[in-house]
Amino acid sequence: MKLNTHLIILGITLAGFNLSNAEDKPAANSNDKKSKPMENAKVIKTDEEWRQKLTPEQYAITRQAATERPNGKAYAEFNKQGEGTYYCICCGAELFTSNEKFHSGCGWPSFYDTSKAKNVSERIDDSTGMRRIETVCKRCDAHLGHVFEKEGFNTPTDRRFCINGAALNYVPKGGAAPKLEPVESLKVQDKKAEVKKAAGE
């Protein structure tokens, strides 16, 4: 009989242990948050540094959200390109591949999806008074173009990533990927902002 009582007590203790374990779960989530700064790590450059790296057209498109004219030189080249990968002209992140490329006839390079690297972010753009979804490079915030949906294109997604050719660096299959511009963690970004602020005061 005495042994049974001990077992019951042990059972209650274990139940209590499990409960406190369940309560520990939010703490595990906050650990996930700690890993977020690296996810949000960005390539940070001054306007001057971007201007040095890019041509005036590339700068206007990627850093100032300009749009290249339709059916231009970049589009003509895009139509001639075969198998390969499209990287961000600013930071070298992989954005699209020729697998997702399709002919939409819109005058700008079109893809129905991003590459598996998932370096394209989407955000609401109300700048023209018409709601559109802007696409930007996840690593450096370069403006790439816009994405449109449900237009009836016979593609796996029926989405059209309408991208400025000048924002893309095409590398044919088998070619070397461009050098990746290094990212800075949020910690470094915050520190830089602090230093900047202190210098301005």
Residues near Zn ion (CB under 5 A) = 88, 90-91, 93, 137, 139-140, 142
What does DSSP assign to residue 55? -
Beta carbon of residue 62, minimum distance to Zn ion (angstroms, whole number): 8
Give me the least distance between CB of 118 and Zn ion, in Å please.
13
Q: What residue ranges in the chain does DSSP mark as E strands?
A: 84-88, 94-97, 110-111, 120-125, 132-137, 143-149, 159-163, 168-172
Q: Which residues contact 1 (CB under 8 A, 6 or more apart)?
A: none
> Residue 48: is it exposed, middle or buried by C-beta count within 10 angstroms (0-12/13-18/19+)?
exposed
Catalytic residue among 88, 91, 140, 162: 162
- 162: annotated active-site residue: yes
Residues acting as catalytic residues: 162
